[in-house]
Amino acid sequence: MSGKSVSLRAVTTVVGAALAAGTLLSSGSAQAATASIGAGRVQLCAQGNYAAYLVFNTAQQDLQGTATSTVAQGSCQTFGIVNYGGGRQTSISVIGRYNTSNDTFYVGGLNVDPTGGGWKFFAQGTTGHAGTDSKLVIEASPRS
């Protein structure tokens, strides 16, 4: 994948596999950290050896994805979650960018309620082994 606008229909099954295989959900003290993110927002922190960005789509992956700006390695940025209306969930995919080219790789992601509590995504690891040495850690704010 390259570019800022990507179709992620094929990612639908990968998202479930990533959650089962390597995406970590955190709670407890993470709740305090994400409480400041706010409902309908997601913060991406590029903590690995690569820059990353988010791609929003419907949970069904039936639209052209909407990409955010790239978050530089070692920094964080907060974005509003795209709301596709009709009570549909929004798919958020984290895409890593290789350091030596404009090529990209899938880090992880999940489907969320676009009006629900805030989220904090940490893109970690390295670009090694075609991006498979990367991982996504997710913190969710408390639900009321």
pTM of the prediction?
Answer: 0.76
Give the model confidence (pLDDT) of 94-133 as tens digits. Answer: 999 999 998 999 999 999 999 998 999 999 999 999 899 9
Which residues make Cβ contacts (< 8 Å) with residue 142, sequence separation at least 6? 31, 35, 117
Whether residue 40 has pLDDT greater than 70: yes
